[in-house]
Structure 1
Amino acid sequence: MPADPPATALVDLIAQGQRSFSGLQLAGHDLSRLDFSGCTFADCTLSDADLRGSTLTDTRWTSCRMAGAKLMAIDGVDAQFHNCDLSNTDWTRSRLNGSTFSQSKLTGANFAASTFIGADFRQCRLVSALLPAISFRRKTLDHLDFSDAELTGCDFREAIFDGCSLRGASMRSCRFEGADLRGCDLGPLKLNEAAILKGAAISKSQATELLRGLGLLVL
């Protein structure tokens, strides 16, 4: 499928050497299989845009509105997203090694089958996000809201949770040995869910709340 006119104009500008863009209005446009390597985008709108198969290596995205964008199978190595709305974006099978997501909204984002070696999330809302089998080992998790997220198979060993939430998250087959969960809202847990936290450090107040959630009377 040929690129639509706005995409063609953008490609032409990049070919001419322009690498910085601000205020672009590309909501719903076809930007698939394009090369944006090294480009910087600020205050741009790409809601529901199609970026499937595109190259986003070493790109910078600041205060961009990208809710619902299709980002499947992209090469996003070393890409940085700051203060962006990335709600309900689909990153299935993408390469995101070394990428950074900071102060961004990722509610409902789908990262299934993506690679995250060296990637980092900071102060992000990941409510109901799909983040299966991602390694957060030995990372300091800074104000990440994993409420109701799908975290099956994630590795949290020796991670430090600071201002985070795991309330309602699916944590099947997760590993928490050596993790510090004292700065995390665990919410009510069932007995089988509590067993997953074996080897993690929790506070006395969290332990009390956990026992109450299991139906035990704490005196």
Structure 2
Amino acid sequence: MLADQPATALAEQFAQGQRSFTGLQLAGSDLSRLDLSGCEFADCNLTGADLSAATLTDTSWVSCRMAGAKLASIDGVDVRLHNCDLSNTDWTRARLNGSKFSQSKLTGANFAACTFIGADFQECRLVSALLPTISFRRKTLRHLDFSDAELTGCDFREAIFDNCSLRGASMRSCRFEGADLRGCDLGPLKLNEAAILKGAAISKSQATELLRALGLLVL
């Protein structure tokens, strides 16, 4: 355990071959450009830490506090994050191919200009997150809250929504052909927003609510 040790101690322990860390207290630390590939972190505090351009390939993060952390331009291929607080994190230009986010809080996270081939989100809170042009095509999306998120240009073709929310999300230029939205809270939609859902499957109750929101009488 390296609790309360400075970032330099983490780098030294890594260089000595240690790959598993529990209880690290690194809030606000500068960890930029470190190579931490293959490491496992549990119950660590990296709130506001700077991991910009770090190599986090094949790392595992469980129950870590990382709100406000800078993860811009990281190499995060095959990174796994479970039950973490990732609120307001900055992932701009990160490479996240094969990454897995589960049961984590990503409110306000910025994923602009990231690469996401094979990435997966499950049971995550993505309220007000910035997720432009990401492909969710043919994925089963479980318990994802995209409320008020920026989803411009995302590809949801043939995706299945299971207990998800798109309430208030910005969906300009999104594609939903073949998507199953019956398990999704669409919220109130305007006419131009409803047109984006062309080709998607919705339930009868969703159709009724949509027509009512558009000012039509359902008899």
Matched residue type, 2:62? T
Question: Where do 5+ consecutive residues of structure 1 fail to align?
Answer: none
| SS of equivalent to 2:6 | helix
Once the two structures are aligned, what percentage of the paired residues are identical? Answer: 86
Q: Deviations over 1:64-113 (max 9, x none)?
A: 00000000000000000000000000000000000000000000000000
Matched residue type, 2:64? C
Matched residue type, 1:56? L
Matched residue type, 1:54? A
In the other structure, the counterpart of 1:79 is: 79
Structure 1 moving runs of 4+ over 3 Å: none
| SS of equivalent to 2:94 | coil
In the other structure, the counterpart of 2:198 is: 198
| SS of equivalent to 1:104 | coil
Question: For the residues of structure 2 that align with 1:8 and 1:125, how far apart are their CA atoms?
Answer: 33
Q: Deviations over 1:151-207 (max 9, x none)?
A: 000000000000000000000000000000000000000000000000000000000
In the other structure, the counterpart of 1:142 is: 142
The two structures have a TM-score, normalised by structure 1, of 0.98
Question: For the residues of structure 2 that align with 1:47 and 1:12, how far apart are their CA atoms?
Answer: 21
The two structures have a TM-score, normalised by structure 2, of 0.98
Question: For the residues of structure 1 that align with 2:44 and 2:214, how far apart are their CA atoms?
Answer: 48
Question: For the residues of structure 1 that align with 2:151 and 2:213, how far apart are their CA atoms?
Answer: 21
| SS of equivalent to 1:202 | coil
Question: For the residues of structure 2 that align with 1:65 and 1:217, how far apart are their CA atoms?
Answer: 49
| SS of equivalent to 2:212 | helix
Q: CA deviation at 1:60?
A: 0.1
Q: CA deviation at 1:217?
A: 1.3
Question: For the residues of structure 2 that align with 1:115 and 1:182, how far apart are their CA atoms?
Answer: 28
| SS of equivalent to 1:90 | coil
In the other structure, the counterpart of 2:67 is: 67
Q: CA RMSD in A?
A: 0.6
In the other structure, the counterpart of 2:89 is: 89
Question: For the residues of structure 1 that align with 2:217 and 2:35, how far apart are their CA atoms?
Answer: 60
Aligned length: 215
Matched residue type, 1:20? S
Q: Deviations over 1:106-149 (max 9, x none)?
A: 00000000000000000000000000000000000011000000
Q: CA deviation at 1:7?
A: 1.2
